[in-house]
Structure 1
Amino acid sequence: MASITSSGLGSGLNIESLISSLMAAEQKPVTLLQTKESKETTKLSSWGQIKSALSSLQVAAQALDTRSEFVSYSSSIADSTVASASVSSSAIAGSYSIEVSQLAASQKIKSAGYTSTSTAITSDTLPKTLTLEIGSTAAGVFTADSNKTKTITIDSSNNTLTGLRDAINASKSGVSASLINDGGSSPYRLVLTSDNTGTANTFKLSGLSDFSYNPATATGSGLSTVSNAADAKLTVDGIAITKSSNVVTDAIQGVTLNLSKTNVGSATKLTVTTDTSAIQTKVAAFVSAYNAVASVIKVQTSYNADTKVAGTLNGDASVRSIQSQLKSTLTSMVGNGSTNRLAQIGIAFQKDGSLALDSTKFQAALADTTKDVAGLFAKDTITGVTGIASQIATKVASMLGTDGVVTTRTAGINSTIKNIDKRIDTLNDRLVSIEKRYRAQFTALDSTVSSMNSTSSFLTQQLSALSSLSNYSSSN
């Protein structure tokens, strides 16, 4: 706060040094508040670490808080070139015989060859309306879906292969158009393909005498068949199934089949099994998430007797409450069944306070039908028994909620920091006034001392002159 000044030149006093010393003393309350604010900021950071760890624990607990979370399956197909499979939690373990006799296909047609993409595609008097219908074909009859009919106006602006291609694509009709160059004397052809497979997604063109096609009879003018629409046909355990797509989602409960090749006369085997490794991965993540919370709390509440250094939140009752609630829940008994504690399925506390998962014991518990592993973790909506993961998820949600301990503690610290900032601002404003007063006082003192020094010097000179005069008179 000191500024460049000439104070002290008249009196010889080191006024800047004096003011600096006085202001250093006045600054002490601000320094103390800044130190206190720094400690509060550190506390806030520590609570932030705890909050983050608790949030991760909440996510891990929620992944185990319903029985459906413990229903996990995997699948395998003996001949993976025929199909692949994915399963959901609604699947049922078992094996199935799969034989694919036909793959689903899209309808595809092509135009006659043109020497140029800008050659006119019709000799009709323009404008004309090209109607494009999507529908189903069965027993030689095409039935249009009235909700999937598009009309395209053909005039001089688009009476070419390029123009028609662009108009069809812009119509979003469910049919895609592209140009192919076959390298012949009239190489350019327009190829139209249904966006979806199956006989329920065939298309018909009409309205142009030189550009029409009926999928029911595979005849038209200026257009010919490349491939017909086809449904996927397969048998599952000898039961015939027909689908419009090669992605079959509802033939086997909870299983999605992606067909890729036929295998008539050579059925392949699909096996659906319980995926215990996926369940263990979730439980391991839960154990790891709790250990992360315990580790953060241990560091923040630690005390080193040798160095006399304490953790930032050492002695904080709120942190101790969080730790106590979590550990109490993890060691509690769930229900009245024979399997009612985590230790019985291989999850137990170690000497250092961390949780450990015994994989061998846990897998054995999953395989044992007499042990209700899911019931230890999840909430049973029928019996009303709440498992440990469900309890943890609820407790942590409360801790992190609007009125929870984490929220209220961090809000309190933020409020303290805000109040300290206000007090520092007030003191700094006061220090400015104090320094201004000190400068005014020392400036006045400097002026007074300077004046006194001048008077003293004058009197000394006068006395010296009188003394010299007296000495002269005496000598004469």
Structure 2
Amino acid sequence: MAIRIGGLASGMDIDTIVSDLMKAERMPLDKLTQRKQILEWQRDDYRDMNKLLKELDDMLFINQNSVGREATFLKKTVTSSDESKVTAKAINAQTNVSSTIDVLSLASSSTWKTSGDINYTAQDIELKFKVKDPGANEYRYTSVKLSATDTLDNVINKINASGLGVTAMKENIKVPNTDPAIYQDTIVFTNNKAGAGVEIAVDERDAASATATKDFMSSLGFSWGGTSGNSLVADQNGQDATIKVNGYEMQKSSNTFTINGIEYTAKGVTTQTVDGVTTSNSVSVSSSIDVDSILDSIVQFVNKYNEVIDKINDKVSEERYRDYQPLSDEQKKEMDEKTIELWEEKAKSGLLKNDSILPSGLNQMRMDFYKPVTNSTNIKGFTQLAEIGISTSSNYLEKGKLIIDESKLREKIQENPSAIYQLFNADGGTEETTGIAKRLRETIDETIKNIEEKAGNSLKVNNQFTIGRTLNSIEDQIDHFEDRLIQIEDRYWRQFTAMEKAIQQSNSQMSYLMQQFSM
């Protein structure tokens, strides 16, 4: 950089003069910077609209209780005449049920406990077992790794955390037939699943490991038995539940079981025999359509749709204030925060005004709702939303908002929830035969795709979408212009420096002449 002389000879404020000149030179750069900021705001506005559309899509198919899920329309309200004995809930019941349940006996879990003294010695060992679970035909293999630093409590915790399938605990239990009472520490295993047929045995695939496992468990006080002597002897064997459903008796390995999409939980025996007399207090279980839940899912979807189109319509209708351009850093320094906030609110307004992508998407959504679903294969009851109490607002200012007649919708849900599901989700090869929700999803996907082509998403780099490529071009122009400004500023300084040198030389010559005349 050349030497800069700042007004020593002329007395002029060269720094200020150059600064003012550069302000004028920077005006095109400021406009480029403003254009860049506007594009970034516009990009972000488009992406915000895509977030709204994605939320609507999730409300259609992803979220729990979405109108695109068949399970939403299969929901049942299940009642039991005696919940102290039997409770029930719908899992995936296709039709309503009415059942009579008799609980003859409850399922119980197998238990194992130690006898005698516990002679625990900490050691590095891997206990290896094979386990048969209630109702299983095959064994599964599992192991418990212990170390020489483990206390007995550590061992119990490791067994509980292993795949052995039991809850282990150490209790101080009274020794039977002792008077005065004698208590001793006892380890009890309780199987985590109720039912008969449970077995815990050593893994016999490795003889040395099998022997080590048996010896360790024996040192804790457990007994071994079974046909090969390699199974833990149960203190109490688990039992299956004996249940009668509509007079048909069956065995269940768990007190919770599912029949025809209804999950029953037996809690108490309903049949008792006293003095040879058997009495039965059967429990009646019935299900009906859960109208409230289905109605709520549809209402939530409609509310979300109305919210999304409301926000998008507001955005594309915003007023554009072209006199309010993005502020530069220098301008912000002269303003307070509130003024900056208000200014930028207007500067950001209307950046999607006259956009064609979003209005086109909204128009297609309205068509998705209006057109009947003419799918004779799947549609058995309803072909239009109006038939189930959902219509479009007659107020044109609301731009296609949906209105729900809850009384009519409730009636139609009670009448045929499966037909409503098909109205939303029928499979078809054409637009006319495709369900409303699936049509809507296609429109949403297409709109999101078009917006991403213009404004990208957080995973795309600038050269992959239109606004991004424009931003890259503007950034290149800014870089080139900043280089040019450096050259212009250097030129101004060279010119003023040359002027200062000329004035200084002139002053020197004048001073010399004055000295000569004064002699």
Coarse TM-score class (shorter-chain normalised): 0.7 to 0.9
SS of the aligned residue for 1:86 comes to: strand
- Give the distance between the partners of 2:506 and 2:189, measured in 1 at CA: 111
Structure 2 vs 1, CA of residues 103 and 381 (structure 1 numbering), >3 Å: closer, same or farther?
Answer: farther
Question: The residue matched to 2:139 in structure 1 has which SS?
Answer: strand
Amino acid in structure 1 at the alignment position of 2:367: S
Matching residue of 2:139: 147
Unmatched segments (≥5 aa) in structure 1: 121-128, 139-143, 467-476
Structure 1 stretch 202-211 or stretch 287-296: which is displaced more? 202-211
The SS at the match of 1:101 is: strand
Equivalent residue of 1:182, what SS? strand
Answer whether contact 2:170 2:185 (CA < 8 A) is retained. yes
> After the TM superposition, which of the residue ranges 406-415 and 67-76 deviates more from structure 2?
67-76
Distance in 2 (alpha carbons) for counterparts of 1:296 and 1:103: 57
Deviations 1:151-172 (A, max 9, x none): 9999xx79x9779858966874
- CA gap of 1:131–1:31, structure 2 versus 1, over 3 A, is closer
Query: Is 1:180 paired with 2:171?
Result: yes
SS of equivalent residue, structure 2 residue 95: coil
Q: Quickly say closer, same or farther: Cα 1:23–1:168, change in 2 above 3 A.
A: closer
**Which ranges of structure 2 fall in alignment gaps of 5 or more residues?**
175-180, 203-213, 272-279, 324-345, 456-464
1:344 is aligned with what amino acid? E
Pairing 1:313–2:352 present: yes
8 Å Cα contact 1:181/1:188 also seen in 2: yes
CA distance in 1, matches of 2:486, 2:425: 64
Q: How many angstroms does 1:47 deviate by? A: 0.7
Q: Which moved more, 1:450-459 or 1:313-322?
A: 450-459
- Residue 240 of structure 1 aligns with an amino acid whose one-letter code is E
The residue number in structure 2 matching 1:278 is 293
- AA aligned to 2:266 is L
Tell me which residue corresponds to 2:265: 258
Deviations 1:5-45 (A, max 9, x none): 76101221221121011100110111001111121122112
Which amino acid in the other structure matches residue 200 of structure 1?
G
Matched, 1:288 2:303: yes
Superposed CA deviations along residues 187-207 of structure 1, whole A, max 9, x for unmatched, are 211212233221121446877
User: SS in structure 1 opposite 2:352?
Assistant: coil
Q: CA deviation at 1:357?
A: 1.6
Q: How has the CA–CA distance of structure 1 residues 361 and 119 changed in structure 2, closer, same or farther, with 3 Å as cutoff?
A: closer
Show the counterpart of 1:125: none
Q: Once the two structures are superposed, what CA deviation does each residue of 1:302-330 show, in whole Å capped at 9, x if it has no partner?
A: 15599998622111122221121112222
Partner of 1:438: 492
What is the distance in 2 between the residues matched to 1:153 and 1:445?
A: 90
Partner of 2:462: none
The more displaced of 71-80 and 173-182 is 173-182
Alignment correspondent of 1:104: 107
Q: Please report how far the alpha carbon of residue 215 of structure 1 lies from its aligned counterpart in structure 2 after TM superposition.
A: 7.5
1:377 aligns with 2:424: yes
- Conservation of the 8 A alpha-carbon contact between 2:110 and 2:234: no
Q: How does 1:141-290 map to 2 (within 5 A)?
A: 147-148=139-140, 172-182=163-173, 185-203=182-200, 211-214=222-225, 225=235, 227-249=236-258, 252-264=259-271, 265-290=280-305
Distance in 2 (CA, whole Å) between partners of 1:446 and 1:9 is: 7
Return the alpha-carbon distance in structure 2 between the equivalents of residues 378 and 77 of structure 1: 33
State the TM-score, normalized to the length of structure 1.
0.79
Structure 1 letter corresponding to 2:314: V
Aligned to 1:74: 77
Map 1:339-350 → 2, pairs under 5 A: 339-350=382-393
- Is residue 299–residue 311 contact of structure 1 (8 Å, CA) maintained in 2? no
TM-score, normalised via structure 2 length:
0.73
The reply to whether residue 366 of structure 1 matches residue 413 of structure 2 is yes
Q: Give the letter for the 1:290 counterpart.
A: Y
> Which of 367, 373, 381 is equivalent to 1:334?
373
Secondary structure, counterpart of 1:320 in structure 2: helix
Matched residues in 1 for 2:154 and 2:510: separation?
111
Task: Report the Cα distance in structure 2 between the residues aligned to 1:346 and 1:313, rounded to whole angstroms.
Answer: 34
Per the alignment, in what secondary structure is the counterpart of residue 249 of structure 2?
Answer: strand
Distance in 1, matches of 2:382 and 2:13, equals 84
Q: 1:368 to 1:382 in 2, by over 3 A?
A: farther
| Residues 1:380 and 1:89: Cα distance change in structure 2 (over 3 Å) | farther
Distance in 2 of aligned mates of 1:213 and 1:399: 69
RMSD, aligned α-carbons = 4.1
8 Å CA contact 2:36, 2:474 repeated in 1: yes
Residues 107-146 of structure 1: CA deviation (Å, up to 9, x unaligned): 11322243xx5468xxxxxxxx9996645899xxxxx977
1-structure distance, mates of 2:471, 2:100: 69
Could you tell me how far 1:345 is from its partner in structure 2? 2.0
Paired residues, number:
438
Please tell me the residue identity of whatever aligns with 2:468.
N
d(CA) in 2 for partners of 1:106 and 1:78?
Answer: 27
Give the Cα separation in 2 of the matches to 1:119 and 1:193.
20
* Corresponding residue for residue 409 of structure 1: 454
Quote how far apart the aligned CAs of 1:456 are. Answer: 2.4
Q: Secondary structure at the match of 1:178?
A: strand
Match of 2:177 in 1: none
Instruction: Specify the structure having the higher radius of gyration (Cα).
Output: 1
Letter aligned with residue 247 of structure 1: T
How many Å separate the matches in 1 of 2:90 and 2:389? Answer: 28
Instruction: Tell me how far apart the structure 1 counterparts of residues 144 and 307 of structure 2 sit (CA, whole Å).
Output: 64
Provide the residue aligned with 1:141 in structure 2.
Answer: none
Quick one: distance in 1 between partners of 2:137 and 2:417? 55
Of the structure 1 ranges 202-211 and 333-342, higher mean CA displacement relative to structure 2 is found in 202-211
1:454 aligned partner, one-letter code: S
Pairwise CA distance, 1:174: 3.8
Amino acid at match of 1:57: L
Deviations 1:428-455 (A, max 9, x none): 1221222122212211211111211222
3-state secondary structure, aligned to 1:451: helix
CA distance in structure 1 between the partners assigned to 2:92 and 2:132 by the alignment: 35
Alignment correspondent of 2:503: 449
2:53 is aligned to: 54
Structure 2 counterpart of 1:85: 88
1:108 partner amino acid: T
- The one-letter amino acid of 2:392's match is F
Contact in 1 for aligned 2:143/2:164 (Cα 8 Å): no
Is residue 66–residue 390 contact of structure 1 (8 Å, CA) maintained in 2? no
